[in-house]
Structure 1
Amino acid sequence: MAQASAPKDNRPHIVIAGAGSIGCFVGGLLIRGAHRVTLLMRERMADEILRQGLTITDFNELDEELSPDVFGIATTPECLKTADIILVTVKSSATEKMAQEIRAHAPTYAVVISLQNGVGNAEILQNNLPDHDVRAGMVPFNVVSKGGGCFHRGTSGDIIIAKGKNHIARMLSVPDLHFQDRADMAPVQWGKLLINLNNALNALSGLTLREQLSSMPWRRLMSDQMAEAVRVLEKAGISAETPMSRRIPIRFVPKILRLPSPVFKRVARTMLTIDPLARSSMWEDLEKGRLTEIEELQGLIVTLAQEKGDKAPINMRVASLIRDAEKSGRGSPQLLPHEIHV
């Protein structure tokens, strides 16, 4: 008697290219939403998840355990051969290498979406993948690894991707993970970069994000750093919009940070939800002895200022302190605001 063949899986194949904290969390929710997903990741991470499974949690009491039997895990790029959608989540410094692997292995019909920090990664991908549909993306929330295959989302927000064919944002949206599309991604990405400047301050402080935002001295420093960067972008003719709320112009955010604490808390609550234990990904990088993305954040602001004959002393100082912390390998230096401000 002939044995019936297994039914073909006609679902689009989504590959998370460079699955770290963001990639595992996003991938986990897509898996939970019945998508066909493969996590392309480092061998150490793959071993951890194969042993302990993938757990995703968040500030809103999400707690989901996913067995490795229901998704793919890969440590080599051959899995890209059957990809329909590739979500790139590597650090900015690894974008070029990942683009080369996509070019070597993925079919040209695969849609490539950058879910990375910084503003230049989609351009790097497109330059290396001229035959692909490459789209910029912006992830507003932060995710940290809690170890044991568990990844925790500490802040809120919807992922935004560039608008294109086939309603990709609608297709990817699942419970607890919503995608929006936008025709012009550049202002969104620059706005996210301005918000992400606090990643470094949070890493230098050693505090949780909630503790940091509850402190007026820290908020003053955040405000001054952002106001300096906004001035640099304006001088460079670059538009930015607030990623949490389009109703609030980005130039008002430094002023909001300087509001009295009771007023600030009320305003901030309408823009963002923050888990009590949330910290920035840069804090996690320092704690684990990894290189950060400081060059794509404060480093970029300093470079832009210099190109326009201007200076950005606060951003320069913060970048220098993060580089020192990277070299020391001792985690967060747990500085106070007055030890950073210039």
Structure 2
Amino acid sequence: MIIGAGAIGCLVGGRLALAGQQVTLIGRPPVVEAIQAHGLTLSSGVQTHTAVTVEAVPSLAAALAGGASFDLAILTVKAYDTATVMAELAPWRPHLPPLLTLQNGVGNEERLAGILGAGRVIAGAITTPVTVTAPGVIEVTRRGRIALAAVDPRATAFPLLSLAALFAAAGLPTRVYEDFRALKWTKLLMNQLANATCAILGWLPAQVMADPRLADLEIAAWRETLAVMATQRIRPVTLGGYPFPWLAPLIRTLPPAVIRLALGRLVGGARGGKAPSLYLDLAAGKGRTEVAYLNGAVAAASAEIGTPVNRVLTETLQALSAGQTPWAQWRDQPARLLQRVQEARR
């Protein structure tokens, strides 16, 4: 059972279904109707496959109707929808299987463990870029990986090596990690880069990283995140092919000019010309973004160190998404953003 029929939910559900697994996907009516009518289509640009066995339903109640049971639930909704999902899950708690969350940001696992128990929650991250091209149709732009970690390694309800093998058989290479906090905070580093700044300014990542002042702002945000991780004794891990364990010390110590070159390459290529997730949510007028679970999590995590860059990015984007501040006042205004950060550093 996959809760959330967005890009990631459809990717994972489609892959599992094509590998012969029975999959029920819970999503919004337009997606559910499209999958019911035409199946779930996955395209890699070279090959296209349609999973016609995926069952699509509009709610958890519909998925569990008639006493249906599942071996695993996978949560792929946006982090700001976790509370809504938790409220929907609560009445069904005795009937729920272990739950894997593939959400971005930090804090989701702890909240879910509060109603399911830590042993029944698995932390996950996915590094596969996916685009929804139409309801029930997704395009994979680059092959990525899934990462797993038990929230409570002493009492995990689903064997992680078995789950990793299941994903691998479905064409989703998977690695198991020991520390779920290290996994999720490292993924936060990846999601954080050239994301909130792009949303605020209405710029693409390549534009942000081409401006030395803004690239330095991204470096400062990363350094704040790494400092918070250090105070909590969270060590970054290698994820998505990026060796953060040895990158982190370099990010902390190398001159910004050197780091800018590396970060420019990191967000180059296809990603440099693609609007990031926070930008897309703001532009869609959703009224909220996941910034509170990314930059906001950094700003809220430690009172021992200052996090002015992440705090300004969070507060500014939250005001924009809530409609408290017109986006026109910040679009194409890097000097204003830099000035706001400078004031926060005083």
* Alignment TM-score, normalising by the size of structure 2: 0.78
Distance in 2, matches of 1:206 and 1:35, equals 41
Residue pair 1:38, 1:71 contacting (<8 A) in 2 also: yes
Tell me, what secondary structure is at the counterpart of 1:70?
coil
Q: Does 1:22 align with 2:8?
A: yes
- Residue 172 of structure 1: how far off its partner (Å): 1.8
The structure with the largest helix share of the pair is 2
Residue pair 2:149, 2:179 contacting (<8 A) in 1 also: yes
Aligned equivalent of 1:11: none
Distance in 2, matches of 1:289 and 1:143, equals 21
Within-5 A mapping of 1:240-259: 240-244=236-240, 245-246=242-243, 248-253=246-251, 255=254, 258-259=257-258
Within-5 A mapping of 1:232-311: 232-244=228-240, 245-246=242-243, 248-253=246-251, 255=254, 258-259=257-258, 268=266, 274-275=270-271, 277-290=273-286, 291-305=288-302, 307-308=303-304, 310-311=305-306
Distance in 1, matches of 2:17 and 2:117, equals 29
Distance in 2, matches of 1:29 and 1:304, equals 36
Aligned equivalent of 2:26: 40
The letter for the 1-side match of 2:223 is A
Residue pair 2:41, 2:49 contacting (<8 A) in 1 also: yes
Q: Does 1:75 align with 2:31?
A: no
Range that drifts further, 218-227 or 124-133: 124-133
Aligned equivalent of 2:318: 323
Distance in 1, matches of 2:238 and 2:201, equals 24
- Residue 285 of structure 1: how far off its partner (Å): 0.9
In structure 2, the CA distance between the partners of 1:48 and 1:230, relative to structure 1 (3 Å rule), is: same
- Residue 297 of structure 1: how far off its partner (Å): 1.4
CA deviation map 1:148-194 (0-9, x unaligned) = 43334455531101255261111122454222111222111111112
Aligned length: 320
Q: Which runs of 5+ in 1 are unaligned?
A: 1-14
Once the two structures are aligned, what percentage of the paired residues are identical?
A: 23
Within-5 A mapping of 1:108-147: 110-130=97-117, 133-147=120-134
CA deviation map 1:99-155 (0-9, x unaligned) = 343453366572210111122212222220139622111123443433343334455
* Alignment TM-score, normalising by the size of structure 1: 0.79
Residue pair 2:224, 2:298 contacting (<8 A) in 1 also: no
Aligned equivalent of 2:145: 158
In structure 2, the CA distance between the partners of 1:71 and 1:193, relative to structure 1 (3 Å rule), is: same
In structure 2, the CA distance between the partners of 1:131 and 1:206, relative to structure 1 (3 Å rule), is: closer
Residue pair 2:2, 2:74 contacting (<8 A) in 1 also: yes
Q: Which runs of 5+ in 2 are unaligned?
A: 151-155, 342-346
